[in-house]
């Protein structure tokens, strides 16, 4: 891919798995991002924030959409996924659904490297967990994909790593990792992987209520 094509191609990322909205846009020469605490106003204000945020670029400048697929809050995750899938379908561009935990791992990997285990509190006393390894050519590689564990099962997974890892807890400020959501999508986009909007699926991990 030529430098000119890269400069004229923008990626847009959305992070809505928490009460905050995170947006990032980049042609991977210049990047900008922002975070807003919208809480219950997320669904009614998302479109407005998107329209203002992408300026001076327009929708025709977008080469792909990236979105945090979870784990996270059920409602917020669903809102972001629906918006990303709709944009991808209307613009006929790829949509990359990226793990919330993977974005945290990439952020940490930039500082520490090595093997990074990421955990997040889940409902009913359970834990979301995943394990990644820093990889210079694609940011991170997945050693253990996102899943929900009982605390004991998660501790057993960590024990199998023989202390050769850094444990990171994903609890707050996750929307700020929207730039890492965009970066991870960019690795796939640059390597010519082109998922359609219909392939972008959320990861809830649990039912929102007991059944």
pLDDT per residue as tens digits for the range 37-75: 998 889 899 999 999 999 999 999 999 999 999 999 999
Domains of the chain: 3-99+173-199 (3.30.420.40), 101-169 (3.30.420.200)
Report the pLDDT value the prediction gives residue 2, as an integer from 0 to 100: 42
Distance CA 62, CA 80 (A): 17
Q: What percent of the chain has pLDDT over 90?
A: 76
The model's pTM: 0.91
H helices of the chain, in order, are 3-7, 42-53, 74-91, 100-111, 151-159, 178-190
Task: Report the distance separating Cα 158 and Cα 54, nearest Å.
Answer: 41
**What angle separates helix 178-190 from helix 100-111, to the nearest 10 degrees?**
90
Six-digit token pair at 135?
């990889």
Quick: pLDDT tens for 18-43: 999 999 999 989 999 999 999 888 98
What SS3 class is residue 9? coil
- Provide DSSP, 36-62: EE-GGGHHHHHHHHHHHHTTTS-GGGE
């Amino acid at each position: 891919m030529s430098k000119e094509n890269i400069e004229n191609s923008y990626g847009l990322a959305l992070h809505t798995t928490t009460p905050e909205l995170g947006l990032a846009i980049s042609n991977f020469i210049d990047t900008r991002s922002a975070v807003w605490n919208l809480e219950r106003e997320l669904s009614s204000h998302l479109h407005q924030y998107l329209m203002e945020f992408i300026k001076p670029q327009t929708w025709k400048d977008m080469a792909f959409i990236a979105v945090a697929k979870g784990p996270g809050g059920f409602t917020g995750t669903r809102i972001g996924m629906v918006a990303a899938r709709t944009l991808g379908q209307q613009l006929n561009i790829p949509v990359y659904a990226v793990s919330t935990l993977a974005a945290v791992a990439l952020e940490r990997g930039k500082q520490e490297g090595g093997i990074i285990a990421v955990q997040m509190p889940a409902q009913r006393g359970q834990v979301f967990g995943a394990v990644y390894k820093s990889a210079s050519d694609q940011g991170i590689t997945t050693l253990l994909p996102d899943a929900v564990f009982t605390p004991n099962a998660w501790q057993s997974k960590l024990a199998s790593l023989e202390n050769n890892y850094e444990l990171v807890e994903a609890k707050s400020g996750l929307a700020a990792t929207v730039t890492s959501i965009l970066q991870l999508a960019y690795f796939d986009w640059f390597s010519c992987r082109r998922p359609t909007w219909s392939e972008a699926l959320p990861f809830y991990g649990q039912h929102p209520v007991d059944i």
